[in-house]
Amino acid sequence: MNKVYDSVIGAIGNTPLVKLDRLTRMHGVDGTIIAKLDYLNPGFSKKDRAALEIIEEAEAQGILSTGQTVVELTSGNMGTGLAIVCAIKGYQFVAVMSKGNSEERVRMMRALGAEVVLVDQLHGSLPGQVSGGDLERVNEEAVRITTERGAFRADQFFRDGNWRAHYNHTGLEFWEQTGGCLDAFVDFLGSGGTYAGVTKSLKERNSEIRCFVVEPVGAAAVAGQDITQPEHPIQGGGYVIPNLAFLDGLPIDGYLQVSGGEAKRIARELARFEGIFAGFSSGANVAAALQLLQSDLRGKTVAVMICDSGLKYLSTDLWS
């Protein structure tokens, strides 16, 4: 904290941990939820970490050249992180995003110098509810632009820099900031990079720490459940992808589901009672942690990510 950084990317990571004791008391649960405030990163989300690691890994491997364009599909957070990193490092960045995501994210990326290409949702899809089919349509456009421009594809679902950012930093921060005194970690799945990196990091230090994946009710593909509601309002994840690359061979100690309504309610409670202004997926993470503290993890300590800022959802019904 006493250092002057050469650029804003030096301020990525090392975010605070806070206890959510007001929420646990309000819900009458026995135990502790500790929340990592990654909405305090420069781009207001945890994706700043992965964006920086992916770009620096590509530079080290020689697969990203000076002056080359960077392209990536995004729900907005990875795009914001990449826009920041590319602005500092001198790369042109093209974000490809579904029109179903919030307008605030588009405006922020453009303000940071990104070119934003918006892709129509599938027929019948609802704004604010981006399905796996919508994401596939975005991916097709990202592939086309990457080929057309001879660009570097950041490819957050497959580049190891994504999970390594959380293995090298986020997981270590959880461990050091708690002195190793935690019993579980829960994570709402998008690309799976956060879950993979934090889980590997924590379990190397204590294999007894239990790690749980979180998905939307009706869209729990990784849990192997029937898909009855692929559309949901929890932006940034829950894309109904059963075989996420980063989860291959990785231990999963349990599967939790949270409804869109529950994620909204807890996100609003985070703001009202804890002063933490966060988005849908943060609400889902805390809702899942509350579930655990009412099960066999009663009295234990559960770690969660506060993934992004509520400022990115002012145009949605999260704050209506």
SS3 (DSSP) at 12:
coil
Q: Kindly state the tokens that stand for 293.
A: 């503290």
- For the chain, percent of residues with pLDDT exceeding 70: 100
- Tokens 């770690």 belong to 303
In DSSP terms, 171 is beta-bridged to none
* Phi-psi region at 299: left, alpha or beta (left = phi > 0; alpha = psi -120 to 50): left
Catalytic site residue 36?
A: no
Report, in angstroms and rounded to the nearest whole number, the Rg of the chain calculated over CA atoms. Answer: 18
How many other C-beta atoms are found inside a 10 Å radius of the C-beta of residue 22? 14
Is 79 in contact with 114 (CB distance < 8 Å)? yes
- pLDDT, tens digit (0-9, with 9 covering 90-100), for 225-250: 999 998 888 988 998 999 999 999 99
Give residues with Cβ within 8 angstroms of 250, minimum separation 6. Answer: 195, 196, 199, 200
Instruction: List the strands of the sheet with 254-258, edge to edge.
Output: 17-19, 32-37, 301-306, 184-188, 210-216, 254-258
Catalytic site residue 281?
A: yes
C-alpha separations of 83 from 35, 93, 145, 279 in Å: 26, 6, 17, 20
C-alpha separations of 103 from 91, 230, 313 in Å: 24, 22, 8
- Tokens 């995501």 belong to 101
- pLDDT, tens digit (0-9, with 9 covering 90-100), for 175-187: 999 999 999 999 9
Confidence (pLDDT) at 129 = 76
Q: How confident is the model at residue 200 (pLDDT cuts 50, 70, 90)?
A: very high
Q: Which of 36, 45, 46, 47 is catalytic?
A: 47
Q: Which of 281, 282, 309, 312 is catalytic?
A: 281
- pLDDT, tens digit (0-9, with 9 covering 90-100), for 120-148: 998 877 777 777 788 889 999 999 999 99
